[in-house]
């Protein structure tokens, strides 16, 4: 617990600039004040989650939102640390592993994971009502299930969302990359793609040690091993710098922070070194945002290819259908008896009765129903062939009788 107190003490003395490296903070008293609220959720995982649950609005003011709760505390750094509970909510919310940040002096909590489900919305703390309220975001995906990654840059939150696929296959587009404009509270979709979520695509699992307008200082802890890196929020890139390569876990005396475009590292002996953040200081970098954009581009190409194949297949099917229809028609025309056609040519200009036309069509030996059907089909074939045409005319005096004019 002593290492924790050193770490928290260091955290406050580095951000309370007016007392930088000079204030002795009674962290045990601070911890006791939180414990006095008699709520285990406030101090749950205090050792590992306290730093990640802090955001700063000034050099002397911090806000503490215990992970997994809707509690919010205001902490003022001065000659004496002052803690004030400014929320009145008592219910837990879906904000484990949420992204806690400030914008225009307001506190926001985005995304998070509950015990049974995920939360993909944006909460804003209302100081007047002392409660968290969900912000309505225009054009926000209705099927947004989980916030995979998110970071604030300027007036926008860049976010990768996992969509609820329902009964759809994993090959369907299950991820969407976009931006939430905090001025208009409108979601702008950049693109969608399908992929299995990997650690290389995630921003937010590491502890955020410090966050400036452009950078995040992040530390990943794995048992006794640690790694520290810088995240460029403008380009969505992770920078591995020589200054903090293979450094021990931050233990309270050691610390990493950013001021403008310079990175500072203070070792356990409290010796401070700094470096300008540029290509000479970076030995390796990896773009998370480029993974998203290249996946979107690849998905669009795949969709275009699929659309092209589908369209081409449809055209081929239509062409084949037309060819088969033409061949079928020609086959039936070719099967038409030559003798019938010759007799009809000889009968051109004549008006024939049913019995006479049936004799020429060679169907008089059939049953009544068969004759009627066959006669209609043969007349249609004869007219389609074009050499002879047969017109049916009803008798003016008796509509029951039909005459056939051959021309």
Residue 399 maps to a domain? yes
- We report the CATH number of the domain holding residue 385 as 3.90.1150
Q: How many CB atoms lie within 10 A of CB 117?
A: 10
How many domains does the chain fold into? Answer: 1
Structure confidence at residue 1 (pLDDT): 38
Structure confidence at residue 14 (pLDDT): 46
Structure confidence at residue 360 (pLDDT): 77
Instruction: State residue 7 phi and psi, 5-degree precision.
Output: -65, -45
Q: What CA dihedral angle connects 217, 222, 226 and 229, to 10 degrees?
A: -30
Residue 374 maps to a domain? yes
Taking the alpha carbons at both ends of the chain, their separation in whole angstroms is 110
Residue 50 maps to a domain? no
How do the pLDDT tens digits run along the chain, 407 residues long?
334 444 454 445 444 433 333 333 455 667 778 888 888 888 777 766 776 788 877 778 888 888 888 889 998 877 777 888 999 866 656 678 888 899 998 999 999 887 788 889 999 999 888 999 999 999 999 889 999 999 999 999 999 999 886 655 555 668 999 999 999 999 999 999 988 887 778 876 567 888 889 999 988 877 778 889 999 999 999 999 999 998 888 775 788 889 889 999 988 888 899 999 999 999 999 999 999 999 999 999 988 999 999 999 999 999 999 988 877 766 655 556 667 777 777 777 787 777 787 787 777 778 777 777 877 888 787 777 777 888 888 777 766 777 888 88
Residue 347 maps to a domain? yes
Rg of the chain in Å (alpha carbons): 40
Structure confidence at residue 4 (pLDDT): 41
Residue 375 maps to a domain? yes
Which range of residues forms the domain containing residue 354? 336-407
Residue 84 maps to a domain? no
Q: How far apart are CA 337 and CA 154, in angstroms?
A: 84
Structure confidence at residue 187 (pLDDT): 97
Residue 159 maps to a domain? no
Q: Which residues contact 312 (CB under 8 A, 6 or more apart)?
A: none
Please state the pTM of the whole predicted model.
0.71
């Amino acid at each position: 617990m002593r290492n924790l107190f050193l770490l928290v003490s260091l955290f406050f003395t580095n951000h309370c600039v007016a007392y930088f490296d000079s204030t002795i903070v009674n962290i045990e008293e601070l911890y006791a004040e939180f414990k006095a609220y008699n709520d285990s959720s406030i101090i749950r995982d205090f050792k590992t989650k306290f730093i990640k649950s802090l955001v700063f609005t000034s050099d002397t003011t911090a806000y503490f939102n215990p992970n997994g709760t809707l509690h919010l505390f205001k902490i003022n750094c001065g000659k004496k640390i002052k803690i004030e509970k400014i929320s009145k909510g008592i219910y837990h919310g879906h904000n484990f592993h949420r992204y806690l940040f400030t914008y225009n002096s307001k506190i926001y909590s985005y995304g998070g994971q509950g015990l049974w489900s995920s939360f993909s919305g944006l909460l804003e703390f209302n100081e007047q009502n002392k409660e968290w309220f969900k912000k309505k975001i225009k054009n926000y995906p209705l099927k947004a299930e989980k916030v995979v990654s998110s970071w604030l840059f300027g007036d926008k939150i860049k976010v990768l969302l996992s969509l609820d696929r329902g009964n759809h296959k994993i090959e369907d587009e299950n991820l969407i990359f976009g931006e939430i404009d905090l001025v208009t509270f409108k979601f702008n979709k950049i693109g969608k793609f399908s992929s299995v979520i990997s650690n290389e695509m995630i921003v937010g699992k590491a502890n955020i040690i410090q966050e400036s307008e452009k950078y995040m200082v992040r530390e990943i802890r794995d048992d006794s091993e640690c790694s520290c890196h810088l995240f460029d929020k403008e380009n969505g890139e992770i920078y591995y710098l020589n200054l903090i390569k293979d450094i021990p876990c931050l233990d309270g005396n050691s610390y990493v922070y950013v001021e403008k475009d310079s990175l500072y590292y203070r070792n356990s002996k409290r010796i401070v070194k700094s470096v300008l953040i540029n290509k000479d200081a970076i030995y390796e970098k990896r773009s998370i945002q480029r993974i998203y954009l290249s996946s979107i581009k690849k998905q669009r190409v795949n969709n275009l290819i699929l659309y092209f194949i589908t369209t081409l297949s449809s055209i081929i099917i239509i062409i084949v259908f037309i060819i088969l229809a033409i061949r079928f028609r020609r086959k039936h025309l070719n099967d038409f008896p030559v003798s019938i056609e010759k007799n009809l040519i000889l009968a051109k200009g004549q008006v024939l009765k049913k019995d006479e036309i049936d004799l020429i069509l060679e169907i008089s030996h059939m049953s009544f129903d068969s004759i009627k059907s066959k006669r209609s089909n043969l007349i249609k074939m004869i007219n389609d062939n074009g050499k002879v045409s047969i017109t049916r005319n009803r008798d003016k005096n008796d509509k029951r009788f039909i005459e056939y004019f051959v021309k």
